[in-house]
Amino acid sequence: MQLKTVDGGVAKLAARGEARTGGLSDFLVRDASIAYGFIAPAFFLLLFLVAYPFVLSLWFSLSDARVGETGSFVGLDNFRRLLRSGIFLQTLQNSIAQHATGKMTADQAIAGAEKELQEIYAGRRRKA
């Protein structure tokens, strides 16, 4: 049996039964390379939209750089200066107090709504 193809050599081997048939390992190797191709865009998107800004913000916090300018490494001096700043400490105190009272208010509202729903549900059960 002769198969007519552009590459007659492959067809002749296949007709004689000498051609290597693709096994499961060949299939898996092919699929792995395709999978990497599909994953690559998502990986690079995460790399440039998450990792790069994160690393850049670390650099800005540990240097005296401004956006658009190169800076020099100053280490933790920026944080030491903030802890000595009265304005920063007052802002930190206000933020903590606001968060604590807001959390408490939200928890109270949720607990109150839950109690109301339980009373409504319990009233319906008694009537039925």
Same-domain check for residues 100 and 62: no
Specify whether 89 is located in the same domain as 59.
no
Position 66 scores a pLDDT of 81
| Within-domain flag for 108 | yes
> Do residues 27 and 69 both lie within one domain?
yes
Question: Which domain, by its residues, includes 95?
Answer: 85-128
Residue 50 lies in a domain: yes
For 91-115, letters b (16+ CB in 10 Å) and e give eeeeeeeeeeeeeeeeeeeeeeeee
pLDDT value of position 26: 67
**Domain assignment of residue 15, yes or no:** no
pLDDT by residue, tens only, the chain of 128 residues = 555 555 555 555 555 655 555 666 666 667 777 888 889 999 999 999 999 999 989 988 899 988 788 889 999 999 999 999 999 999 999 889 888 887 777 777 888 888 888 888 777 665 55
Nearest-10 Cα torsion for 6, 10, 12, 13: 180
Q: What is the pLDDT of residue 115?
A: 85
DSSP E strands in the chain: the ranges are none
How many CB atoms sit inside 10 A of residue 76's CB?
A: 10
28/66 same-domain check:
yes
Residue 99 falls within a domain, yes or no?
yes
Q: Are 69 and 27 part of one and the same domain?
A: yes
34 plus 59 within the same structural domain: yes
Q: What global pTM score does this model have?
A: 0.47
Cα 46–chain centre separation: 7
> What is residue 65's predicted lDDT score, i.e. its pLDDT?
86
> What is the reported pLDDT for 14?
55
Number of structural domains the chain divides into:
2
Quote the CA–CA distance of 74 and 61 in Å, as a whole number: 9
- Statement to judge: residues 32 and 54 lie in one domain: yes
Beta partners for residue 63, in sequence order: 73
Q: In terms of domains, do 68 and 89 share one?
A: no
**41 lies in some domain:** yes
Contacts of 13 (CB under 8 A, 6+ apart): 19
